[in-house]
Amino acid sequence: MTRDVDIVVLLVPDSGEAVLEALRGSEVYFPESEARRAVTSGGTFNVLHPQSGGKVDIFAVPSEDAFTQSRIARRVRAEVLGIETWIAAPEDIVLAKLRWRLESRSELQWRDCVEIAAVNDLDVSYMHRWAAELGVQDDLAELLDEQA
Share of the chain above pLDDT 70, in %: 97
Residue-wise pLDDT for 3-57, tens only, equals 567 888 887 777 888 889 999 989 999 999 999 999 888 888 999 989 988 889 8
Contact present, 46 and 55 (Cβ < 8 Å): yes
Contact present, 8 and 59 (Cβ < 8 Å): yes
Cα distance between residue 19 and residue 96, in whole Å: 22
Q: Looking at residue 34, what is its pLDDT?
A: 93
pLDDT value at 98 more than 90: yes
Residue 133 to residues 66, 117, 129, 130: CA-CA distances in angstroms? 10, 20, 7, 5
Average pLDDT, the chain: 90
Contact present, 114 and 143 (Cβ < 8 Å): yes
Q: 76-80 and 83-87: which strand pairing?
A: antiparallel
Contact present, 124 and 148 (Cβ < 8 Å): no
